[in-house]
Structure 1
Amino acid sequence: MSRRDEIIEAALRLTQAGGIGALSVRAVANAAGIGPTTLRHYFPSQADLHQAVAVALVSGSLDDLDIADDTRDPVQRLYECLVQFLPPAEHQEAVLGGWFELYRLALGPEPLPAVRGLLESGHHSSAQVLQRWLGTLADQGHVVPGEVDAHITRVLALIDGLHLNLLTGPERFDLDVAREALRWFAERVIRQETLLDAE
């Protein structure tokens, strides 16, 4: 493992143990067993560090699965990829709590710029993954190419809304309802292209 990867691993351990608020340059350097100057060699700014951590978090939880397998139903392929954004049932409370804490620390009454940077980096990394998935489907003729960017915005908003509803209304809103919403979205995205072909 390279020194850069060791630093990212230390940052991920800090995040898991102490939450997003524990992620500072000094804390990451200490956890990695290096000085701040050495850390700055690999990550010149705190934003660079946050971007790397966000990419690691997203790439560690989001897989391309069968998105490129054009022998399978495109709705099902997109749905299976999107479901990865939902928390696993066995860790739902902890994952949603961490998600809410991230927003609270980034946007609350006393916002932490470092956490906001991590939040923005996470959204950017998620958008890149969605671009890859939807771009693949667009290349295969299943999604309107000019709509990919708009779909990315829509699904990111949908996912945040699903997380919020899972957190605040568990008695009326569960993972099954969230999955149905993601399937609905996948059907609409693919259906647009199908309707265009039919005209």
Structure 2
Amino acid sequence: MSRRDEIIEAALRLATTEGIGMLSVRAVANAAGIGPTTLRHYFPSQAELLQAVAVTLVSGSLDDLGIADDTHDPAQRLYDCLLQFLPPSEHQGAVLGGWFELYRLALGPEPLPAVSELLKSGHRSSAQALQRWLETLAGQGHVAPDDVEAQATRALALIDGLHLNLLIGIERFDLEMARETLRWFAEQVVTRRASGT
């Protein structure tokens, strides 16, 4: 692993445990076991460091899991894939804080165009994964083919809403409720085709 990759790994660990807002040059340098000057050799600015971390987060986060395995319940397969959008319970606050921090950096009073582009890239990657999963289920006859694009859009809106509700701590809304909501969505998408509506 190159020194640059080691720095990104250290930054990802820090982002997961402390939140992306804690990714200062000094904090990441400490986490990587190097000095700030060495870190600046690889990442001349904090924006470039954040961009590298965000690219890594966006590019490798969604797996197809068992979506194509038609021996298992299609709603369960879709639900399993959708769960990847929720933070792990042990790092929920940091992950959601990082999600919000990316939006703040992209849309705040002094927006960073690079972060805005990363958010767009992440949105495209998420939409492509959702469409891929739904198209797989549609090819197996579990989802109406003409509903795939609309259902992917609905899923993205639902996921963003779940993140926001989890982040602001809506009363009686927790990670378990978010999971139940994703299960409901998966069952609606799949049963819609089965019922012919």
TM-score, normalising length from structure 1? 0.75
Question: Cα distance 1:108–1:33, how it changes in 2: closer, same or farther (>3 A)?
Answer: closer
Q: Could you tell me which residue of structure 2 aligns to residue 136 of structure 1?
A: 136
Q: For the structure 1 residues 141 and 113, does the alpha-carbon distance in structure 2 shift closer, same or farther, using more than 3 Å as the test?
A: same
- Alignment check: 8 A CA contact 1:165 1:173 kept: yes
Q: Distance in 2 between matches of 1:8 and 1:120?
A: 23
The AA in structure 1 aligned to 2:86 is L
Where 1:150 maps in the other structure, the secondary structure is helix
Determine the structure 2 residue equivalent to 1:99: 99
**Quick one: distance in 2 between partners of 1:186 and 1:123?**
20
The letter of the residue matching 2:74 is P
What letter corresponds to residue 63 of structure 2 in structure 1? D
Distance 1:86 1:139, change over 3 A: same
Q: Percent identity?
A: 65
Match of 2:177 in 1: 177
Task: Mark the runs of 5 or more structure 2 residues left unpaired by the alignment.
Answer: 25-37
Closer, same or farther: CA 195–96 of 1 in aligned 2, 3 Å: same
The unaligned stretches of length 5 or more in structure 1 are 24-29, 37-45
Distance 1:99 1:62 in 2: 15
Q: Equivalent residue for 1:84?
A: 84
Distance 1:55 1:135 in 2: 26
Farther-moved stretch of structure 1 (146-155 vs 10-19): 10-19
Number of the residue aligned with 2:71: 71
Q: Following TM superposition, where does structure 1 have runs of at least 4 consecutive aligned residues deviating by more than 3 angstroms?
A: 6-23, 30-36, 52-56
Q: Aligned pair count?
A: 178
Write the deviation string for residues 92-126 of structure 1: whole angstroms up to 9, x where unpaired: 01001001111111111221111111111111111
Query: Aligned runs of 1:1-199 on 2, under 5 Å?
Result: 11=8, 13-14=10-11, 17=14, 19=20, 56-196=56-196
